[in-house]
Chain A
Amino acid sequence: MSEVQLDARRLLCPLPVIRTQDRIEQLQRGDRLTVYCTDPGAIHDIPAWCRVHGHAVLEIVRHDEEIRIRIEVQG
């Protein structure tokens, strides 16, 4: 199991979702990905993308303008 990070700051949606999708495609089941972003839309879109693909959102943390979303690859 690996822990991977993705910097999607300053990207507007849906680009953070696309970057997340493309990164997860390279990961294995059980791997964990932490995405850093600044577009508030990502709070809705990345979990929505995870739901339709069956991945688990472990944590969403918002600190000032920055959002951190931790995902476990499952689907």
Chain B
Amino acid sequence: MRYNEGRFPSLIVKIRMNQPRKAVALISGGLDSLLAAKVILEQGVHVEGINFFTGFCVEGHTHAIRKKERNRPKRNNALWVAEQLGIKLHIVDIIEEYKDVVLNPRHGYGANLNPCLDCKVFMVRKAREWIERKGFDFIITGEVIGQRPKSQRKDTMPVIAVESGADDRLLRPLCARNLPPTLPEREGWVDRERLHGFEGRSRKPQMALAERFGFSEYAQPAGGCCFLTDAQYSRKLADLWQARGERRYELDDIMLLKVGRHLRPRPHFKMIIGREDGENRFLEGYRKQFTHLLTRSHNGPLVLIDGEPADEDLDLAARITARFSQGRDAEAVDVEIHTRDGATLTRQVKPISGEQIPSHWYL
């Protein structure tokens, strides 16, 4: 049943006055989305956060698998931001749907396999669907014109708004003054004068605003929050597709690309070599899915083989495994090979020398 605004105008006004407008903020865990949400919270709008998990997210925990990076905070930055703001955060698993964004980006890739513009369109579209389901009024992002060369430009801002279907319900509080007024501004749900006109790659305006709000600690991810912006990671993903002869991936594939040393000695198999205890423990979870190797006479890594190695390939794999063990300078190292069909083979091998490993084997 709809209210008849003509019959109950004062009641409607009262209801609207007592019920603040509701916005969902895309929270990445970085500074810009933190500030954008704070700017709107300051105007009395009810804000909740939404964070999308693509599988490519750079998380503190992924780094924390490696011992040497254990001094990094083991926290989810998006949750941490939500706590600083005092807002709810909804984390949404978009792993499956996101594959199409990575595999078929309409707007192409950035410097690596990063489909930043398609990614932003997709996430804002998911946020638009979310606000329609939940009865929220508009969407906030931390975008700043000129901040990112691929996705945050003056000409891409309307592309994101239109292709996501959010249209003028998409508000960018940090650069809104440089863009045409959106619905929340025109309707007076937010005061345009209290929004910002940031532009360009400089971080100084954001840092000054952070100081004004009293935020002294915030995440400053180098290279963004997505592994697809990383050149080495993108190279490993491209290699995976080439080796399989098709462009597809599962979550386990992209998780394994984040961990270990990857070598491809032959086109039909790749080795994933744990670099330390943390990575070895992580790889242990995948042992049953892969042929794997361990050194028995010396301490060494856990090595997974992705592909279909022939018997002679196992000798080479054993020699490489020995190379990355503490027996690298020994005459002979005992290597145990566990095949996927459950058989266990033992080979005594001489570790391969560094000079015998061509640089192009390293991915």
Least distance between B19 CB and chain A CB atoms (Å): 20
Least distance between A42 CB and chain B CB atoms (Å): 8
Interface residues of B in 328-344 (CB under 8 A from A): none
Stretch among B55-63, B138-146, B228-236 lining the A interface: B55-63
Tell me, in angstroms, the Cα distance from A10 to B252 when the chains sit together. 11
Question: Given A18-B92, A52-B88 in contact, is the A44-B62 Cβ separation under 8 Å?
Answer: no
Are A44 and B74 in touch, CB under 8 angstroms? yes
Are B74 and A52 in touch, CB under 8 angstroms? no
- Is A60 located at the chain interface by the 8 A CB criterion? no
What DSSP secondary structure best describes chain B's contact surface? mixed
Question: Given A15-B53, A18-B53 in contact, is the A45-B82 Cβ separation under 8 Å?
Answer: no
For B88-107 the 0/1 string (1 means CB < 8 A from A) is 11111100000000000000
Interface residues on A, range: 10 to 19
Tell me, in angstroms, the Cα distance from A21 to B82 when the chains sit together. 15
The size of the chain B interface, using a CB distance under 8 A, is: 26
For A36-49 the 0/1 string (1 means CB < 8 A from B) is 00011100110011
Tell me, in angstroms, the Cα distance from A55 to B272 when the chains sit together. 40
Least distance between A37 CB and chain B CB atoms (Å): 11
Are A41 and B64 in touch, CB under 8 angstroms? yes
Chain B residue at minimum C-beta to C-beta distance from A52: B82
Least distance between A64 CB and chain B CB atoms (Å): 11
- Is B80 located at the chain interface by the 8 A CB criterion? yes
Tell me, in angstroms, the Cα distance from A48 to B81 when the chains sit together. 10
Are B88 and A53 in touch, CB under 8 angstroms? yes
Are A40 and B61 in touch, CB under 8 angstroms? yes
Most chain A beta-carbon contacts within 10 A, residue among B75, B86, B91, B285: B91
Question: Given A48-B83, A49-B89 in contact, is the A14-B76 Cβ separation under 8 Å?
Answer: yes
Chain B residue at minimum C-beta to C-beta distance from A54: B88
Interface residues of B in 64-79 (CB under 8 A from A): 64, 74-76, 79
- Is A13 located at the chain interface by the 8 A CB criterion? yes
Are B76 and A52 in touch, CB under 8 angstroms? no
Q: Which residues in A have their C-beta under 8 angstroms from that of B79?
A: 14, 17, 45, 48-49, 52
- Is B208 located at the chain interface by the 8 A CB criterion? no
- Is B255 located at the chain interface by the 8 A CB criterion? yes
Question: Given A13-B76, A49-B79 in contact, is the A41-B61 Cβ separation under 8 Å?
Answer: yes
Least distance between A49 CB and chain B CB atoms (Å): 6
Question: Given A17-B76, A17-B79, A48-B75 in contact, is the A41-B91 Cβ separation under 8 Å?
Answer: no
Q: Which residues in A have their C-beta under 8 angstroms from that of B41?
A: none
Q: Which residues in B have their C-beta under 8 angstroms from that of A51?
A: 83
Are B91 and A17 in touch, CB under 8 angstroms? yes
- Is B87 located at the chain interface by the 8 A CB criterion? yes
Are A41 and B80 in touch, CB under 8 angstroms? no
Tell me, in angstroms, the Cα distance from A8 to B80 when the chains sit together. 21
- Is A12 located at the chain interface by the 8 A CB criterion? yes
Are B76 and A45 in touch, CB under 8 angstroms? yes
- The 8 Å CB contact of B91, one of A10, A12, A21, A40, is A21
Tell me, in angstroms, the Cα distance from A53 to B86 when the chains sit together. 10
Q: Which residues in A have their C-beta under 8 angstroms from that of B51?
A: 14
* 24 A-B residue pairs with CB within 8 Å: A12-B59, A12-B62, A12-B255, A13-B61, A14-B57, A14-B79, A15-B53, A17-B76, A17-B79, A18-B91, A18-B92, A39-B61, A40-B74, A41-B59, A41-B60, A41-B61, A41-B64, A41-B74, A41-B76, A45-B75, A45-B76, A45-B79, A48-B76, A52-B88
Task: Identify the 10 closest CB pairs spanning chains A and B, nearest first.
Answer: A41-B61, A48-B79, A13-B61, A45-B76, A52-B82, A18-B93, A44-B75, A10-B285, A18-B91, A41-B74
